[in-house]
Amino acid sequence: MKCYILGVIDMGPQTAWPHFHCSSHHLSSIIYHPSSQLNHSHFYFFSPLSSLLSSLCCSSFHRCEPNIMVYFEGEKEHRDLIPGLPNEVAELCLLHVPYPYQALSRSVSSTWNRAITNPSFIFSKKTLSHPNLFVLAFHSQTGKLQWQALDPSSARWFLLPQMPSPEDTMPLACAALPRQGKLFVVNGTKTLTYRAATNQWSVAGGPGRREFVAAEGVEGRIVAVGRGGTSVYDPESNRWQEGSELEGELERYEVVAAGGRVYVTEGWWWPFMFRPRGWVYEMERDTWQEMGIGMREGWSGVGVAVGGRVFMIAEYGDSPVKVYDEEHDTWCPVAGGRFPREVMKKPFCATGLDDRIYVASCGLNVAIGIVERVSNMEQDVKGCTADVCVTWQVVEAPRAFREFSPCSCQVMYA
């Protein structure tokens, strides 16, 4: 027997949709009342609340409070996704269930499970998804590593299921395929994959006992780089392939993927006695070539790729933001607002998607930079040499996160 709990919410046409807090035992979504004719004045709130079942009387219909109705379904399975609604409208309701609760909605009924796992539903969900920031954070007191996800539109954080612990202590390299909603953690012997659609981790074999300390998603594949060489992972076939070896070893690994290339540099590091080294990997050709001298010597901060271009947030002064000019092999300061260093404290890591730069800092405060093109006239007015500007927004984390520091951050659609 299944139980459906329906509650009416009366909202004005200009009222923002409420954010409902749900634990792992609760599922929230908004569905339309069939008589509302798809306007914003009346909605139904649907939620299977397991914690309430013990307090409800086992009758076919029971009214708990003025705006809640409980309907018990018998053994016979309904073909309708939501009784009383056309399936087309019901599918739209399920498509708008926010991450990470859609995975829980599969357990409501076999009908919902079939609908949500249908390839056409998954394809449609991709068009309605929006980027979430996934941060692997280290707790300074407990030493615990955990993944958390931020929904920038609501400033809400979600705790991911515990990542399977690797059996060895080899370094972890993290990467993501944003459009596929997949997150990867590579430690040499194992490949851990997190799928936003199911909110679950899976474990597969790794490229071998190698120390991969950095990874990036490139054209649907994962390129892992480290002291043991280069390996490329194809998630579709679940196979690793050895790539050409990187000449020499770096003291540190800063990796950015842009335009089908992987840029690897060690950057400047104390006591600044040696000039930094850097290489560029062409995945299609499986070749490494030395990075341009202007790029590697000007790379003095955290790198991030946006729109096929490489940006850098400097680690000195007020953290000026620069973009790399490949034609002239130089870094150009961008226009726009100043990077919010008063809120963003080191260490911080960065990632990019579409026209956004996402930066996570100590305490898990997040700065989101919006990248825009500027005309030649605007360049003259703003006094910048780059043809882009970046404006910043800050999402401050709860005080409970002040002991966390980011190890890696990835952004992907969920």
pLDDT tens digits for range 374-399: 877 666 555 566 789 999 999 999 99
251 vs 182, residue with greater confidence: 182
Residue 276 burial (CB count, 10 A): 21
Is the per-residue pLDDT at 72 higher than 50?
no
> How does residue 270 score in pLDDT terms, banded at 50, 70 and 90?
low
Average pLDDT over residues 58-65: 33
Q: In what order do the strands lie in the sheet with 29-32?
A: 29-32, 42-46, 2-10, 68-73, 61-65
Q: In what order do the strands lie in the sheet with 254-258?
A: 254-258, 261-265, 278-282, 287-290
pLDDT at 323: 95
Is the per-residue pLDDT at 139 higher than 90?
yes
Q: For the chain, list the domains and their CATH numbers.
A: 87-126 (no CATH), 130-412 (2.120.10.80)
Mean pLDDT score across all residues of the chain: 78
Is the per-residue pLDDT at 69 higher than 60?
no
Q: What percent of the chain has pLDDT over 70?
A: 75
Average pLDDT over residues 395-406: 94
Average pLDDT over residues 245-272: 81
Q: Report whether 282 contacts 260 (CB < 8 A).
A: yes
> How does residue 277 score in pLDDT terms, banded at 50, 70 and 90?
confident
Per-residue burial over 95-132, b if 16 or more Cβ lie within 10 Å, else e, is: bebbbbbbbbbbebbebbeebbeeeeeeeebeeebebb
The secondary structure of 55-82 as a DSSP string is: GS--SSEEEEETTEEEEEE-SSPPSSSS
Is the per-residue pLDDT at 21 higher than 50?
no
pLDDT at 325: 94
> How does residue 28 score in pLDDT terms, banded at 50, 70 and 90?
very low
Backbone angles phi, psi at 257, to 5 degrees: -110, 130
Q: Cα separation of 294 and 283, whole Å?
A: 22
144 vs 50, residue with greater confidence: 144
240 vs 118, residue with greater confidence: 240
pLDDT at 176: 96
pLDDT at 294: 95
Q: What percent of the chain has pLDDT over 90?
A: 43
84 vs 52, residue with greater confidence: 84
CA 76 to chain centre: 40
Q: Cα separation of 154 and 188, whole Å?
A: 36
- What confidence tens digit (pLDDT) does each residue in 307-338 have? 999 999 998 888 899 999 999 999 999 988 89
- What confidence tens digit (pLDDT) does each residue in 165-212 have? 766 567 789 999 998 899 999 987 889 999 998 899 999 988 876 778
Is the per-residue pLDDT at 51 higher than 60?
no
